[in-house]
Amino acid sequence: NVLVAKGVLADKIKNLDTKISDWSNWDDSYKFIEDANPDFIKSNLADQALVDLKINFIIFINSAGDIVFSKGVDADENHALPIPESLKKYLTKDNTLVKHPDINGDVSGILMLPEGPLLIGSKPILTSAKKGPIHGALIFARYLDSTVIKGLSETAQLPVTIGRFNDPLLPSDLKSIQEVFYKGNEILIKPLNNREIAGYAVLKDIFNNPALILKIETPRGI
């Protein structure tokens, strides 16, 4: 079951990746990154667009590494979100999120911020025919918040908990997976009591570092 929950999260990241493709391989985006046409913003980048895409942030970055447009929205609270400074520090010209080596380059996964973990994806901005030259990068991101975790629980049909891998205040049962990971494993199964068993998995970030611990509980039928 822990593999199921891990797979569901991977599917969410893949779905985010697909959404970016619809926007990054688009003549209108290709032109917008050069002229910052306000009509494009008015027609395509209202708050509702982010709500419909189920993302918190959208960021257009040109080939020089400059942010042409960015927007953040908290759909649950119905208000604007500023782009966190902690995210901006990754949006430099030579960062993997901004600099794509070729037209097939992309980055997607988890990015850890002080504000919370992000599901993030970045693709090169190309024409609708997926041709270059690359005009920059398009980034979509959303917080791995309680809404996402609730969705994981509903899909897996079991309680799911997620904690930061390096959190010094992790409960003792989550700390046990830290020790297992450092011994070369990324999954741990252990009984909690006579009635329940738990599965734990380590989730890595876009830099291949341990980022989160996923825990799922299931009844012990036998």
C-alpha 161/C-alpha 196 separation (Å) is 15
The CA distance from 73 to 8, in Å, is 24
211-221 pLDDT, tens per residue? Answer: 998 888 887 76
List, for residues 116-136, the tens digit of each pLDDT value: 999 999 999 999 999 989 999
Which residue pairs from 176-183 have beta carbons closer than 8 angstroms and sit at least 24 positions apart in sequence? 176/200, 177/201, 177/202, 177/213, 178/213, 181/210
Q: pLDDT tens across 7-43, in order?
A: 878 888 888 999 999 999 999 999 999 999 999 999 9
Q: Provide the percentage of residues in the chain whose pLDDT is more than 90.
A: 57
Q: Taking the complete model, does pTM exceed 0.75, yes or no?
A: yes
User: Which of the four pLDDT bands, split at 50, 70 and 90, describes residue 1?
Assistant: low
* pLDDT tens readout for residues 66-104: 999 999 999 777 789 999 999 999 999 999 999 999 999
